[in-house]
Amino acid sequence: MTFGKISICALYLLISALTCVGQRPPLKYGKVDDKETALTSYQGADAVILYDFGEYKFNGITGVVFFEFTHHLRIKILTEAGLRYATQQIHYYDLHSASYYPYNETYMLRAQTLNVNEKGKVIDSKVKAKSTDVSQPDENFTASVTIHFPDVKVGSIIEYEITIPTIETVNPNPWMVQYDLPCLWNELRIITPLEFNYAIKPYNIDYADVSDVKSITTSIKYPGRSVVYNATLFQFLRKDVPALPYLGNDLEYNNSRMFVRFILDYVSKKFILPQMSEILKAMDPEYKFMDKSEKQLILENSGFILYKRPDLVKIAKELNKSRQFGVPLVLNMGLNDTIKKLTGNCNTNKEKVMAIYHYVQDQAVWNNQYRIFVDAGIPLFFIKLAEKFAKEPAKMNTSLHKVIQKQEGSSSEINAILINLLRVGGFKTNPVLVSTLNSGYLDTTFFNLQQFNHLIAAVEVEGEVLLLDAVNKGGGSIMSSDIMNEYGLMIEARNARWIRVAYPYAILPVDMEAPVFEQNQ
């Protein structure tokens, strides 16, 4: 079975059960054959990837189940210039800092350099802890480990195998098939219970040596016992992948290389492994932005349908009623008089919009956190109760007031204030979900809510719709500094639709007009 022209036709492959038996990974860690050690050149490359293997599967750590990712990479150094690959950096989700459970393991790593001595024997030089640099996790609990391989010379083979526990089952990182080096063997496997249905999509891939779905029986270990269950194994294999030289343009490179994306489509509760509570909670897109105490208190979905990838109408409906998205955009912040003073001397509606825009810019400094949600604040019931007995609108939008008081906020908080105040000023304004390049490639036909990481405003004024981003970064806004994905998702009252937001739109430095998107997009 081949992909045909999937990259052009944009076909989906939804995992379904076929009868077959799973296979073991084709190569074992540390075991090299004569062909690998004898290889001295390959297509003029400085190095060659001999083996690139990734596997996602459910596994247990101290009895609690996580979606575990294992990556086994083996590279042969062919020239002096190829020695630059003797340092490898791996980014990973730091479960230890993200979870309220006291896990000690953030990853398990083994790495080594393999050389052939004068007697023809393969000698291994293991990477010790002092040869690795581990970064502190960022606000999204992403960290990195940098591996410095010892005793590397022309002819050496370096390899590592890392296993990373994660709760990211809805939107795992794409699997990269193509690099700036040629690759002899690239393989991805995904093993999940039959009740977890994933949609798979390849990009820029004209064929695969293997693209198959199999029904297997596997097990997961718990303290003192193991559970056997029926699972689905998806296997992708591409041999002899050509190199794609990096020419310095991240956007062009990442859109051109071969990769495979898979996102969660559907989860039912016919059979669920014990102790999967954190994975089920993490299916809520708000979950990863909660602090540890909030994660501990949240209740997981207890219905028969645990997860279903939402359509545009459902996304709009759920976001608009969310206390961490839609509700703060309409609650009165008690700044009505401020808005009147800001706009009182303006001659046109566009000048009024710009006055509100610059006011919000001056209220808070960006804290370098990309977000689409804000803190929930006080429950809506208490706000309505206070407003009922107050002589003037209650200043109860505490989640956004805190941002102004601290003069610091996330990207979503700053632009949520902008949207709120523009609405108070009488302008039809909608939030727009966008994704920066470092958040990954965004496909308008193959997406979920977890892929967005930034919020901007779309305001209708004088017959046009302007895109506004009040978050300062350097000399301009985030959107004028970071390369954005081409489209954003505008959340309207009863629907959501895609609009064009692509860089190089420079969003409103002081003397610049706002970009306008075409309404028929």
CATH of the domain at 206: 2.60.40.3140
Whether 296 and 321 map to the same domain: the answer is no
Q: What is the pLDDT of residue 130?
A: 92
**Does residue 45 belong to any structural domain of this protein?**
yes
Q: How does DSSP classify residue 172?
A: P
Give the SS3 label for residue 287: helix
Domain of 459, CATH number, reads 3.10.620.30
Tokens of 188: 């991805």
**pLDDT at res. 508:** 38
Task: Determine the pLDDT at residue 37.
Answer: 94
Q: How far apart are CA 275 and CA 273, in angstroms?
A: 7
**Contact indicator for 155, 116 with CB cutoff of 8 Å:** yes
Does a structural domain hold residue 509?
no
Report DSSP letters for 126-143, one per residue: EPPGGGEEEPPP-TTSEE
Of 309, 326, 341, which residue constitutes the final position of a domain?
A: 309
Sign (positive or negative) of CA dihedral 415, 509, 337, 409:
positive
Q: Are residues 444 and 473 in the same domain?
A: yes
Contacts of 82-86 with CB under 8 Å at 24 or more apart are 82/45, 82/46, 82/47, 82/154, 83/152, 83/153, 83/154, 84/46, 85/46, 85/47, 85/158, 85/181, 86/113, 86/148, 86/149, 86/152, 86/156, 86/158
pTM: 0.82
Residue 505 inside a domain? The answer is: no
Which of these three, 246, 281, 309, is where a domain ends? 309
Per the domain annotation, does 350 fall within a domain? yes
One domain, residues 384 and 295 = no
Beta bridge partners of 125: 113
Query: For residue 378, what pLDDT is reported?
Result: 52
Residue 32 lies in a domain: no
Please tell me whether residues 82 and 175 are part of one structural domain.
Answer: yes
Which pLDDT tens digits describe the chain residue by residue (521 residues)?
333 333 323 333 443 333 333 456 778 999 999 999 999 999 999 999 999 999 999 988 777 888 999 999 999 999 999 999 999 999 988 888 877 665 566 899 999 999 999 999 999 999 999 999 999 988 778 899 999 999 999 999 999 999 998 888 999 989 999 999 999 999 999 999 999 999 999 999 999 999 999 999 999 988 888 899 999 999 999 999 999 998 877 767 877 899 999 999 999 988 788 888 888 888 888 887 777 777 777 777 777 888 888 899 999 999 999 888 998 998 888 888 999 999 999 999 999 999 999 999 999 899 888 899 988 765 544 455 555 655 555 545 567 878 888 899 999 999 999 999 999 999 999 999 998 877 777 889 999 998 999 999 999 998 889 999 999 876 667 776 666 788 899 999 999 999 988 754 433 333 334 445 444 33
| 3-class DSSP assignment, residue 341 | helix
Closest by alpha carbon to 56, among 65, 64, 45, 47? Answer: 65
Statement to judge: residues 267 and 385 lie in one domain: no
Predicted local distance difference test score (pLDDT) of residue 63: 77
- Would the CA dihedral through 329, 333, 336, 340 be positive or negative? negative
Q: Are residues 361 and 342 in the same domain?
A: yes
Helices (H), 368-410: 380-389, 398-406
Residue 231 included in any domain: yes
What is the predicted pLDDT for the residue at 217? 95
Same domain for 351 and 293: no
Whether residue 317 sits in one domain with residue 305? no
Q: Is residue 467 part of a domain?
A: yes
Asked whether residue 89 falls in the same domain as residue 165, the answer is: yes
Say yes or no: 95 and 63 in one domain: yes
511 found inside a domain: no
Question: Residue 395: which domain range?
Answer: 313-500
Q: Please identify, among 293, 309, 325, the residue that sits at the C-terminal boundary of a domain.
A: 309
- How many domains, the chain? 2
Q: Are the C-beta atoms of residues 18 and 35 closer than 8 Å to each other?
A: no
Mark whether 68 and 11 lie in a shared domain: yes
Per-residue model confidence (pLDDT) at position 514: 43
Q: What is the pLDDT of residue 387?
A: 56
Asked whether residue 243 falls in the same domain as residue 322, the answer is: no
